[in-house]
Amino acid sequence: MTDTVAGLRDEVQSWREAGYTVGFVPTMGALHAGHISLVRTALQRADRVVASVFVNPAQFAPGEDFETYPRTLEEDAAKLAEAGCHLLYAPTVREMYPTGFASAVHVDGPAFGLESQTRPHFFGGVATVVTKLLNQVRPDTAVFGEKDYQQLLVIRRLVTDLDLGVEIVAGETLREGDGLAMSSRNAYLSAEERGRAGQLNLILKDLAQEAASGKPLETSLLHARTRAEEVFDAVDYIEIRNAHTLQAIETETLEEPARVLAAVRVGKTRLIDNMAV
């Protein structure tokens, strides 16, 4: 493990000199099976793999859960070692944002709407830290989970626009037995909240099936939103968007590749999920 850019670059440089390709999996820690599946995907595509653990303050707004976000570095290190990850990079906030840090990356395109509606700060913080991490590691391949689908498309756009020269690979969403998408924030849920949370994927699955069957999209969306409002404490959004651009779909029925996406709140916990149509 290393917590400095210098230590990271020394190790990666030694791999490069040996002729190895490098994969990268960025995380915020509190690792679960979904994260480990991303590491395994990276191991299939590269000779050596770095995973980072960094809870990025730049993507949390005041009042969000930065201070309480689960931090389990020792357990994370053990899980990564067991999975075959070659290096854990766990920088401090000071290492990532030293005194005088004054730069940021602005993103638009797929960053517009959805998550940005309720978290306008979010993708700027993500884009800045991901740009820094990719420049620090300089991998051949980086793996990001499809659970954060909008984030995945934002990062692909970022890498293309800034000529970062990294292949961005999507990792499949892993789910619990009842279909709930795995997330570090699931640990916040009480038993009663956990039961309700498991219904989100069912609502999205039905919405995707209705859209694929040719039913009017507005009717299907209204049905899904009504069901969600009956189950959850708040519904930030449930939408059907173009799968490649996340632009709104203007036709009455589905005539293009699409994705259903949702964000809801159960108690104090915010859950996101998405599915292909």
Residue 273 structure tokens: 């999920």
DSSP SS3 for 117: helix
- DSSP label at residue 78: H
Partner residues linked to 27 by β-bridges: 53
Residue identified by tokens 């309700």 is: 196
Tell me what pLDDT residue 11 has: 98
DSSP string covering 177-239: TTSPBP-GGGGG--HHHHHHHTTHHHHHHHHHHHHHTT--HHHHHHHHHHHHHHHSSEEEEEE
Question: How much is the CA Rg of the chain, to the nearest whole Å?
Answer: 19
Mean pLDDT of all residues in 30-35: 97
**Interval 17-21 mean pLDDT:** 98
Query: Among residues of the chain, what percentage have pLDDT more than 90?
Result: 100
Q: What is the DSSP letter of 270?
A: E
Please tell me the predicted confidence (pLDDT) of residue 29: 97
> String of b and e for 82-109 (b: at least 16 CB within 10 Å)?
ebebbbbbbbeeebbbeeeeeeebebee
Interval 129-155: pLDDT, tens: 999 999 999 999 999 999 999 999 999
Summarize pLDDT for 93-112 with one digit per residue, the tens.
999 999 999 999 999 999 99
Average pLDDT of the residues in 158-165 = 98
Place of tokens 């292949």: 167
Helices and strands of the chain, counted as H and E runs: 10, 8
Q: Can you tell me the mean pLDDT for 237-255?
A: 97
The residue among 245, 243, 158 whose CA lies nearest residue 208 is 243
Annotated catalytic residue, options 32, 35, 86, 106 = 35
Mean pLDDT, residues 228-237: 98
| pLDDT value for 192 | 98
Closest CA to 207 of 241, 250, 245, 256: 241
Residue 86 designated active-site: no
pLDDT-based confidence at 67, cuts 50/70/90? very high
Predicted local distance difference test score (pLDDT) of residue 10? 98
Structure tokens at 159: 């890498």
Q: Which of 155, 186, 185, 181 is nearest to 168 (CA)?
A: 155
Q: Give burial (CB, 10 Å; 0-12/13-18/19+) of 27.
A: buried
pLDDT per position as a tens digit, 186-213: 999 999 999 999 999 999 999 999 999 9
- Residue 144, pLDDT score: 98
